[in-house]
Amino acid sequence: MPDIPLVRTDGKVFSAGITLSPERFVHAELLSRASKSDHARETEKVYGLGDSLYFFAGYACPGFGDVVFIFEASCLDGVDGGATPFDTGGLYGRKIFARAWDGLDRAAEDEARRELVAQSQRSLSDWRSALDEYLSEFFDTPREYLRGDRPRKDDASGRLGDARNSRRAWTWEVRAHADLPIGQGLRRIWASADYEEAIRQQVLTMNDDKRKSWNERVGKRLVRVAPGESPHARAEAELTS
C-alpha cells in the first residue's frame, strides 16, 4: 500500500502571537511546535501527548491557516512522537462523537475519551504500518481515505459510523516531539495568493546569499499558488490525483 503523505496547515494567528507568518516562513529554518492554539496545549496536557508538532495523514485541514505543506511520510523517521486515528483536539473539544458514549455523564464521557486516546496511540516508529492496516480494514482504496469518504464499516465505539462526525473523526493525526526542518522530506507547498505574494515580497528584501539559500532550501520549485481557490483544496486534489 502506498505511503500517505503528511500534511501540515499553518499560518493561523493564535492568541500567543506565535505563528508561521510569511516573514517567519521565509527566514525560519524550522516548523515550530510553538505555533499552536491554547486548546491544543490543553489537549496535550489532558491526554499526555507531549509538546507536539501536528500533521494530518493526507488531509489539508483549512482551519489552521493559508499555507499547506506536503511531506513524505518518512520525514519523521527517527523522531519521537505519536499518532492516533482521529484528531485529538476535536476529540477533547467534543466535536467527535461515539454512540457508546451517549447517555454517559460528563465525567464518565471524559474518561471514555481519555481511554480511547490511550488505546489508540501508536508510536512514530510504527504509525505507517498501523495506518496501512487501518486503511485495509476500513476503506476499499487509499483514495477513499484521502477524499475524506466515510469508512465502509463502524468500529466498536460507534465513532466511525456516527453521522454527527466529520472526517476528523477518522483521519490520522501524527505528532512529532520536535520542530521539523522545513525542507526535510518536503514535497510541495500550496499557499493562498495573498500568502504567496507576501512570501515573494519577503524574498525580494534578501541579499543574494540569503536568497540563494532560500531557493536551495525551498524556493519556487516547491511553492504553488492557488489564485482564487483554496490552497487546501488544491493540495488535496494533488494528493488524490
How distant is the alpha carbon of residue 25 from its chain centre? Answer: 17
Contact 63, 226 (CB under 8 A): no
* For the chain, the helix, strand and coil percentages under 3-state DSSP, each to the nearest 5: 40, 15, 40
User: What single string gives the DSSP state of each residue in 145-195?
Assistant: HHHTPPPSS--TTS-TT-TT--GGGTSPEEEESS-EETTTTEEEEEEEHHH
Q: How confident is the model at residue 167 (pLDDT cuts 50, 70, 90)?
A: very high
Calpha distance 87→107 (Å, rounded): 20
Contact 62, 9 (CB under 8 A): yes
**Model confidence over 54-108: pLDDT tens digits?**
999 999 998 888 899 999 999 999 999 999 999 999 999 999 999 999 999 999 9
- Delimit the domains of the chain by residue range: 6-240
- pLDDT above 80 for 226: no
| pLDDT confidence of residue 219 | 63
User: Under 8 Å CB-to-CB from 51, ≥6 apart: which residues?
Assistant: 33, 44, 177
pTM value is: 0.93
